[in-house]
A and B are shown apart, each in its own frame.
Chain A
Amino acid sequence: QKEVEQDPGPLSVPEGAIVSLNCTYSNSAFQYFMWYRQYSRKGPELLMYTYSSGNKEDGRFTAQVDKSSKYISLFIRDSQPSDSATYLCAMSVIYNFNKFYFGSGTKLNVKP
């Protein structure tokens, strides 16, 4: 069983829609969670970081962690065509960079 599971999509939505991207995980000890955005033919870039449970908001993006369900989400409000990318989740028990487990990514397409 993989440590982190993520639906590969693709997820196609109209511009302005609210997008929900999700990851599930098996290790209940994970407590550091990240979301990365990866444009085609580019490296991933850090979008959001959360520690433990709860919500965190940054502009149009909200990261949510539900440790009881071992489930994390990234919500994008008022989605734009420029949000079209692959979104990767990553998580870790401890906050060493070399200990993070990545999901396989969900491809998002926002149509104008």
Chain B
Amino acid sequence: DAGITQSPRHKVTETGTPVTLRCHQTENHRYMYWYRQDPGHGLRLIHYSYGVKDTDKGEVSDGYSVSRSKTEDFLLTLESATSSQTSVYFCAISEREFYREEDGYTFGSGTRLTVV
């Protein structure tokens, strides 16, 4: 997806290990978001950022932390991975906090994480 890159694309990790997922954007957008997508649950917001070093919790933040030291990078860390965190993780970016009709809300291609 243009302007937003997630890494890695796939990862298998063991229970109890820390894992960090990276979202990198080239759009210079202020707002960045981490979602997880699970069958039957749709997309659920984990954390979001409204600027460098400014972050807040979403709906399902337990077990996750985030950091944003630069405008272009937003990191999601699973402090001690559990099997319930097996999911597809999406990063998204937006120029504004408040939606306007001409706005986009761009998602990355996702990271498929398996915790065994």
> Smallest CB–CB gap between A87 and chain B, Å?
11
The stretch of B14-22, B70-78, B79-87, B99-107 in contact with A is: B99-107
Interface residues on B, range: 20 to 34
Contact present for A105 and B42 (CB under 8 Å) = yes
Residue of A8, A49, A95, A97 with most partner-chain B CB within 10 A? A97
* Residues 80 to 116 of chain B near chain A (Cβ within 8 Å): 90, 92, 94, 97-99, 101, 104-110
Contact present for A104 and B41 (CB under 8 Å) = yes
> Smallest CB–CB gap between A89 and chain B, Å?
9
Cβ-neighbour of A46 out of B1, B104, B108 (below 8 A):
B104
Contact present for A98 and B45 (CB under 8 Å) = yes
The stretch of A14-22, A37-45, A77-85 in contact with B is: A37-45
Contact present for A97 and B44 (CB under 8 Å) = no
Contact present for B99 and A32 (CB under 8 Å) = yes
Q: Mark A1-15, 1 if CB is under 8 A from B, else 0.
A: 000101010000000
Judge whether B58 is part of the interface by a CB distance below 8 angstroms: yes
Contact present for B109 and A44 (CB under 8 Å) = no
Contact present for A49 and B101 (CB under 8 Å) = yes
Q: How far apart are the CA atoms of A84 and B32 in the complex, in Å? A: 28
New A-B pairs, 17, CB < 8 Å, besides A43-B1, A43-B92, A103-B42 = A8-B39, A32-B99, A43-B106, A43-B109, A43-B110, A44-B107, A45-B107, A46-B104, A46-B105, A88-B42, A96-B98, A96-B99, A98-B33, A98-B97, A101-B42, A102-B42, A102-B43
